[in-house]
Amino acid sequence: MSLKSQIEQARGNAAGLERLYRQTMVAGEEPAFKDAIADCVGEHPDDILFAAWAYRLDVRSPSDRAEPEGQTVQQHQARHWRTAVAASIILGILYALFAGDKPPVPKPGEANPLFWIGWGPLTALSILFYLTAIDRTRERIRWYGGLAAAVIPIGVYAALIAWNRTDPLAILIALHLPFVAWAAVGAALALGYPDPVRQGYAFLMKSVETVLTGGIYFGAGAIFLGLTYGIFEVLGIKLPQAVLRTIAAWGIGAIPILALASVYDPTAAPVAQHWGTGLARLLRILTRLILPLALGVLAVYVFWFIPAYFWRPFQEREVLIVYNATIMAILVLLTAVVTGPDEQRSPRQDAILRSAVLALGVLTLLLNLYALAVIVSRTFEFGLTPNRYAVFGWNIVTLFMLVVVVFRLGKAPSEQWVPIVRESIARVSVLAVAWALWVLVGLPLSFD
């Protein structure tokens, strides 16, 4: 039964509706409850209880949104998009300038150091500027400005350490600096609101949704650029490579804020975003489809490939890289599979989903233990390098994350396992941010 149907069943039952509201609050689904109340008010405009709840939660029915106040909402949305487009154009220009006469790729040795070092912090600062331009409340400006002030010295420090380097340390900085910059944006969005843990989880999911949206924009831009190049080629006009690089760099720079503006409302807290439509709904469907496939792949890894080729990752680093990449991907899947408003599943369906998530966590935990043993062995055999130092730490962090999620999921009451998984993931994600920051700041001091 949908949440809206449950609310309609509680029509005239003030105590029952209050209990339902508290249940959704515990589950972290207050936005879905507000949307359902708004729909109920629109369908039952004479119901005093629904009207009182709409007043209490400050929501409007769909019909109200079409009135002059709805025109104000449209004006706000237009202002959001004007700001997003302007910020995207500026960021694209900066990307093109940073790329210079080299390919716009975040790889030391191939890209201009200004680009591969600066693209992560620059994107984070641009996003924080965009958020500040839309939500100008004093509290939000303080958080956005404070985290922007933290990103700048980190970026400068990375530039001082790795400007002309192409060694493994430079590659580690190229991998971790964007992650730290992204975490700074997350902290700016989650802190200062009630229940920052729930806000943090919502930010994680909106990040995945934004990346998917950006991928769609990037694909569309690549197709357009390819068609344009083909048309000019047919006409006998050969575009200079420098022009193509500049266009590509500008396009890559313009994507992040446009993608964010497409899925995120800067005037609302992360948990108050819309989760039932668009890419959020598609993401939820995709993760449910991928879940059994991921279980199958992990089962093959753990029960066949590892026993049959036990010593391969000890001898070949590439196999270990594949294992660790799989662990990271599964952690993203575990995060995304419980996103969005809680569907009304039957007890059997809920039990199946919980068992699948638990099995996925356990199998990934086993794979993580194996990968940790491999990196420990390789460290003793070949010595400690920056790469092994970073990978060893990541294996410890991901192992702890999986232990916490699996343990809490296994002990969670059947009706509360989804919010418990969300809370666990949000809390342990702080460890990943801490380790990335240490690799970025502390590792160069340890090996220089």
Q: For residue 165, is pLDDT > 80?
A: yes
Residue 273, helix vs strand vs coil: coil
Does residue 24 lie within any of the structural domains? yes
Domain shared by 198 and 239, yes or no: yes
- Whether the pLDDT of residue 66 is over 70: the answer is no
Half-sphere exposure of 159 (CA within 13 A, CB side): 17
Q: Tell me which of 38, 65, 92 is where a domain ends.
A: 65
Domain count, the chain: 3
Task: Give phi and psi for 111, each to the nearest 5.
Answer: -100, 160
Residues 128 and 18 in one domain: no
Q: What is the pTM of this model?
A: 0.81
DSSP 78-103: HHHHHHHHHHHHHHHHHHHHHHTTS-
CA–CA dist 419, 354 (Å, integer):
12
Domain end: 265, 295, 316, which one? 265
Percent of the chain's residues with pLDDT above 70: 92
Residues 6+ apart with CB under 8 A from 80: 134, 261, 265, 266
Q: At CA 295, angle to CA 292 and CA 297, rounded to 5?
A: 115
* pLDDT value of residue 356: 92
Does the pLDDT of residue 20 top 60, yes or no?
Answer: yes
Convert 166-204 to b/e letters by CB count within 10 Å (16 or more is b). Answer: eebbbbbbbebbbbbbbbbbbbbbbebbebbbbbbbbbb
* Least reliable range by pLDDT among 58-62, 83-87, 112-116, 145-149: 58-62
Q: In the prediction, which pLDDT does 13 show?
A: 78
For helices 317-336 and 417-447, the axis angle rounded to 10 degrees is: 140
CA dihedral sign of residues 185, 190, 191, 193: positive
Coil, helix or strand at residue 205: helix
Strand partners of residue 111? 108
65 pLDDT band, cuts 50/70/90, is very low
Q: With bands split at pLDDT 50, 70 and 90, how would you rate the model's confidence at 67?
A: very low
CA–CA dist 118, 104 (Å, integer): 11
Task: Report, as an integer, the average pLDDT of 378-391.
Answer: 91
- Is the pLDDT at 10 greater than 90, yes or no? no
Residues 423, 289, single domain; the answer is yes
Judge if 169 and 40 occupy the same domain. no
- Between CA 300 and CA 289 the distance in angstroms is 18
Q: Quote the pLDDT of residue 345.
A: 67
Determine the structural domain holding residue 99 and report its residue range. Answer: 75-265
HEC per residue, 407-431: HHHHHCCCCCHHHHHHHHHHHHHHH
Domain identity same for 175 and 258: yes
Residues 49 and 175 in one domain: no
Least confident of 31-35, 186-190, 430-434: 31-35
Q: Is residue 70 part of a domain?
A: no
In a domain, 271, yes or no: no
- 110 phi, psi to nearest 5 deg: -100, -40
Position 29 confidence tier, pLDDT thresholds 50, 70, 90: low
> Distance between CA 172 and CA 379 in Å, rounded?
17
- Asked whether residue 29 falls in the same domain as residue 169, the answer is no
Least confident of 123-137, 180-194, 229-243, 345-359: 229-243
Q: How far is CA 383 from the centre of its chain?
A: 35
Same domain, 442 and 301: yes
Per-residue model confidence (pLDDT) at position 49 = 81
User: Is residue 21 very low, low, confident or very high in pLDDT (cuts 50, 70, 90)?
Assistant: confident
Q: What is the mean pLDDT of the chain?
A: 86
Q: Looking at the structure, do residues 111 and 254 belong to the same domain, yes or no? A: yes
Residue 386 in domain: yes
Q: Are residues 292 and 440 both part of a single domain?
A: yes
Whether residue 430 has pLDDT greater than 80: yes
Tell me if 272 is assigned to some domain.
Answer: no
pLDDT of residue 176: 94
Q: Is 28 helix (H, G, I), strand (E, B) or coil?
A: coil
pLDDT above 90 covers a percentage of the chain that reads 45
